[in-house]
Amino acid sequence: MVKIPNFKNKALLNQALVHRSYLNENKEIITSNERLEFLGDSIISFIVSSYLYDNFKNYDEGRLTNLRSLLVNTKSLADCARELDLGSHLLLSKGEEESGGRNNQSLLADVFEALVGALFLDSGVQAVKKLLEEVLLPKTQSFVEKNMLKDPKSLLQEYIQSHKKSSPKYVVLLEEGLPHAKLFTVGAFVGEKLYGKGEGKSKQEAEEIAASNALEKLGK
């Protein structure tokens, strides 16, 4: 488990942990972590892009983009949140907590982005880079070694067509959340058999994560 970085301004850390559902039951709290999440999303993308540009000099723009998307997708950021145990610190409504919010992949990705935004405001970009070097950037080599730079949907398509003489289908299993903050759960099916599931903030992202999940189960 990686420790949450020290903050000079504890109020920023506290705000990063406030999910909007918490405001409904705690009227004295007036701000959720959504603005910090917006900021953190951009900072993570910038630092990851800079890191990939400096360290993968033989990669063209397409491969760099694919690698960045693997690093900044909902699953990867949620895994970072789990390494920091952010779920146990989240401030949620009772309803959100009872529905499994502390382990919800989208909520965990959001709170990690909010933490990054708060850390940037508190301690600057170097502190954020240090955190990402601990919990996010080390995943890069694993993606490269697993040859995941190709679109996972294409990889799954090739594998299924060569072994099953069929093609995977992607079905939305669940759509939840407000219009500006949707979460999609998608299943990757071959015939009636479910091969993998994925959650994402868009159908496309959820399909890619479902394909990655299916490839992992197939040992690919």
Where in the sequence numbering do the catalytic residues fall?
41, 113
The two three-digit tokens of residue 97, written as one number: 């907590």
Residue type, 84: L
C-beta of residue 93 within 8 angstroms of C-beta of residue 107: no
Q: Give the chain's length.
A: 220
Taking the C-alpha atoms of residue 13 and residue 153, their distance in angstroms, rounded to an integer, is 37
Taking the C-alpha atoms of residue 133 and residue 114, their distance in angstroms, rounded to an integer, is 17
> Residue 31 burial by CB count (10 A; 0-12/13-18/19+): exposed, middle or buried?
exposed
Angle between helices 61-72 and 34-55 (to 10 degrees): 140
Q: Are strands 169-176 and 183-190 parallel, antiparallel or unpaired?
A: antiparallel
